[in-house]
Amino acid sequence: EDQVTQSPEALRLQEGESSSLNCSYTVSGLRGLFWYRQDPGKGPEFLFTLYSAGEEKEKERLKATLTKKESFLHITAPKPEDSATYLCAVGGTGGFKTIFGAGTRLFVKA
Amino acid sequence: DTAVSQTPKYLVTQMGNDKSIKCEQNLGHDTMYWYKQDSKKFLKIMFSYNNKELIINETVPNRFSPKSPDKAHLNLHINSLELGDSAVYFCASSAGGSSYEQYFGPGTRLTVT
């Protein structure tokens, strides 16, 4: 069964303190690994898509990487405005089903 | 211009009532989805439509009936509402299947009392 597990559940950082979020996945036939950001009271907002092991994508202070079993979202020198829930998802079996992880809630304190 | 819109944003109703949530996307996408996000913020797919055709129905009670009048619209009708239906419901769209990123609406918070 396709599965996505994110860790940690919550992460508290000081402004400028870099860290990484983990997403482990099990899927038969990866069609894409996605990272989304969700702010309270809003819908998830697309950040990155990764398709193959070794691929990396960057956007401002965020960098996503992919291996055959997991993905990392690296946050460099975070700012308070980076506080949000970060969701990992995989495009799974059948071509039209996306499985989301439970998310990591990130708190960045000034 | 809002890419994916949902109405209403909030819905408070009593058990046993029937309600609908509407979704529209102006991105020209072929695929639309309904997700349920529970109190623990876990986002779970309910339905997936491609070119107005139902592709995925994730063991959702048949009290939930999606309808896609055209590619830009996917509505969700819920009969005989139960307390456990309380959640935030998100509509989303993508250019194709699960290889493509999805664009989400703002969500509809449904509260059943």
In the numeric block, the tokens 């058990």 are attached to B15
* Domains held by chain A: number: 1
Q: Are A46 and A108 in contact (CB under 8 A)?
A: no
Q: B102-104 and A84-91 as β-strands: parallel, antiparallel, unpaired?
A: unpaired
B89 in contact with A, Cβ within 8 Å? no
- Residue A88's pLDDT band (boundaries 50, 70, 90)? very high
- Per-residue model confidence as pLDDT tens digits over A76-87: 999 999 999 999
Which CATH number fits the domain that encloses residue A58? 2.60.40.10
Q: What residue numbers bound the domain in which A50 lies?
A: 3-109
- Note down pLDDT in tens along chain B; length 113 residues: 779 999 999 999 999 999 999 999 999 999 999 999 998 888 999 999 988 888 888 889 999 999 999 999 999 999 999 999 999 999 999 998 888 899 999 999 999 99
Q: Residue B47's closest chain A neighbor by CA?
A: A97
State how far the alpha carbon of B105 is from the alpha carbons of A25, A70, A75, A97, A105, in Å.
Answer: 26, 28, 26, 18, 20
Q: Are A75 and A21 in contact (CB under 8 A)?
A: yes
Domains and CATH numbers, chain B: 4-112 (2.60.40.10)
Q: What is the DSSP string of B46-60?
A: EEEEETTEEEEE-S-
**Joined tokens for residue B112:** 């059943």
In the numeric block, the tokens 């339905």 are attached to B47
- Per-residue model confidence as pLDDT tens digits over A25-76: 998 888 899 999 999 999 999 999 999 999 999 999 999 999 999 999 999 9
Q: Are A102 and A7 in contact (CB under 8 A)?
A: no
B44·A34 Cβ contact <8 A: no
A34·B101 Cβ contact <8 A: yes
B48 in contact with A, Cβ within 8 Å? yes
